[in-house]
Amino acid sequence: MRKVRLGDTDVEASVLCLGTDSIGSRIDQAASFELLDLYTEKGGSFIDTANFYSSWFPGCKGGESETTIGRWMKQRGNRSEMAIASKLGFDYPRCDGGLSAAEIQRECEKSLKRLQSDVIDLYYAHRDDYDSPLEETMEAFDRLVKAGKIRAIGASNLKVWRIAEANTISQVNGWAQYCAVSQRYTYLRPRHGADFGPQICINDDLRDYCRSHGVTLVAYSVLLQGAYTRGDRPVPAQFAGPDADARLAALEAVADETGATFNQVVIAWMLQSDPPVLPIIAGSRPEQLTENIAALDMTLTDDQIDRLDTAGNPDIKQVWLR
Ligand SMILES: NC(=O)c1ccc[n+]([C@@H]2O[C@H](COP(=O)([O-])OP(=O)(O)OC[C@H]3O[C@@H](n4cnc5c(N)ncnc54)[C@H](OP(=O)(O)O)[C@@H]3O)[C@@H](O)[C@H]2O)c1
């Protein structure tokens, strides 16, 4: 699997990232190891976890995903081949959340212990914290970088202006800057005013910022829980409508032409977009992961990308030109 550098750092990660919020909780350890093995056999090396995964799952209190990944890396002896991304910011049992200096220091140590590792390759702020000054947060992240406990930092679910402000503060002070941003993103476009709680979607502003500043974009919830192909998973209400219908029709046409599945076209489209967006893929069954990873075998033509990009909202440009 092709690898890219995250931002201007020396952290190398495979272009498909593996999502693990169900690893070690909804998916038991044996099945989790099987999925992790499959992903790495296909050349994957970029694993997305977080301190509080999966505290919302019955019987869990957070840390299950990191703990399972730590055990797996120990058993396989492959820590040095992986790029591990973890996050902090949300509360879970025995953690108040937020991005204060004390919280960053404390949660990083807990994650390192669960991962049985000396270092986290990419450490994300998982949400914003308006109660902690940006200077405090960025200096605390930088201290961890200088101490060798993390290699790079990222932002997830932050507004573009906050990412830009944080990075400017870091630039002025010579501190580590956010080199990657992970937000919600798929081929269907959210309806105006769609509510995703604390989650923030990739938008044109962010794409522009990342393109011009060399920041790597990473997408989560790429396959809408399987809604592109599964009768048991309707298109979520935040997306459903005429724009989604038009984009699903474009997706169907390209899937027919290429012989690929809808999921594979979505993943390929994302990777070939400008700037490229690295999809986090997930699945609870090996067949799902195999299908998703096989998206790397296809290349969309410029014409197919153009048709996918322009599907939906048919009259918008004409209205502005009138
Ligand atoms: N930074 C953040 O705030 C944030 C937020 C959300 C997620 N994430 C990360 O992103 C990862 C993925 O998130 P997500 O679960 O929302 O992603 P998603 O792509 O929307 O959904 C993944 C689920 O879709 C189904 N699926 C996947 N491939 C399929 C296929 N080929 N055919 C049919 N069904 C398929 C599976 O559901 P079943 O297992 O039910 O069959 C799978 O668990 C998480 O594990 C986490 O690492 C980050």
DSSP 150-167: BS-EEEES--HHHHHHHH
| Structure confidence at residue 317 (pLDDT) | 57
Residue nearest to atom 34 of ligand 1 (CA): 226
- DSSP for residue 181: E
Domains assigned to the chain: 3-237+261-301 (3.20.20.100)
31, amino acid identity: A
**Any ligand 1 atom below 6 A from CB of 290:** no
Ligand 1 centroid–CA 40 distance in Å is: 18
Convert the pLDDT of each residue in 232-263 to its tens digit. Answer: 999 999 999 999 999 999 999 999 999 999 99
Provide the pLDDT confidence category of residue 314 given band limits of 50, 70 and 90. Answer: low
Alpha helices by DSSP H, listed for 51-159, are: 64-76, 101-115, 134-146
Residue of 26, 27, 154, 183 whose CA lies nearest to 86: 154
The single residue of 39, 53, 123, 185 carrying the catalytic annotation is 53
Give the whole-angstrom CA distance, residue 125 versus residue 217.
14
Give the whole-angstrom CA distance, residue 10 versus residue 155.
17
Is 53 an active-site residue? yes
Residue nearest to atom 38 of ligand 1 (CA): 284
Residue of 208, 218, 88 whose CA lies nearest to 144: 88
For residue 178, the cross-strand partners are 153
The alpha carbon torsion through 257, 304, 40, 281 (nearest 10 deg) reads -100
Taking all residues of the chain, what is their mean pLDDT, rounded to a whole number?
96
Provide the pLDDT confidence category of residue 307 given band limits of 50, 70 and 90. Answer: very high
Ligand 1 centroid–CA 291 distance in Å is: 13
| Structure confidence at residue 136 (pLDDT) | 98
241 in Cβ contact with 205 (< 8 Å): no
- DSSP for residue 9: S
| Structure confidence at residue 124 (pLDDT) | 98
What share of the chain in percent tops pLDDT 90?
Answer: 97
Convert the pLDDT of each residue in 33-69 to its tens digit. Answer: 999 999 999 999 999 999 999 999 999 999 999 999 9
CB atoms within 10 A of CB 152: 27
Convert the pLDDT of each residue in 8-39 to its tens digit. Answer: 999 999 999 999 999 999 999 999 999 999 99
Provide the pLDDT confidence category of residue 207 given band limits of 50, 70 and 90. Answer: very high
**Where in the chain does DSSP place strands (E)?**
3-5, 12-14, 17-19, 46-48, 83-88, 122-125, 153-156, 178-184, 216-220, 277-281
Ligand 1 centroid–CA 53 distance in Å is: 13
Convert the pLDDT of each residue in 115-165 to its tens digit. Answer: 999 999 999 999 999 999 999 999 999 999 999 999 999 999 999 999 999
Residue nearest to atom 11 of ligand 1 (CA): 19
| Structure confidence at residue 313 (pLDDT) | 75
Q: Reduce the DSSP state of residue 308 to 3 states and report it.
A: helix
- DSSP for residue 223: T
Residue nearest to atom 35 of ligand 1 (CA): 226
Convert the pLDDT of each residue in 84-109 to its tens digit. Answer: 999 999 999 999 999 999 999 999 99
Provide the pLDDT confidence category of residue 315 given band limits of 50, 70 and 90. Answer: low
Give the whole-angstrom CA distance, residue 274 versus residue 85.
23
Give the whole-angstrom CA distance, residue 149 versus residue 110.
12
Ligand 1 atom nearest 21 alpha carbon:
45
35 in Cβ contact with 289 (< 8 Å): yes
Reading the block at residue 236, the tokens are 């979520």
| Structure confidence at residue 320 (pLDDT) | 57
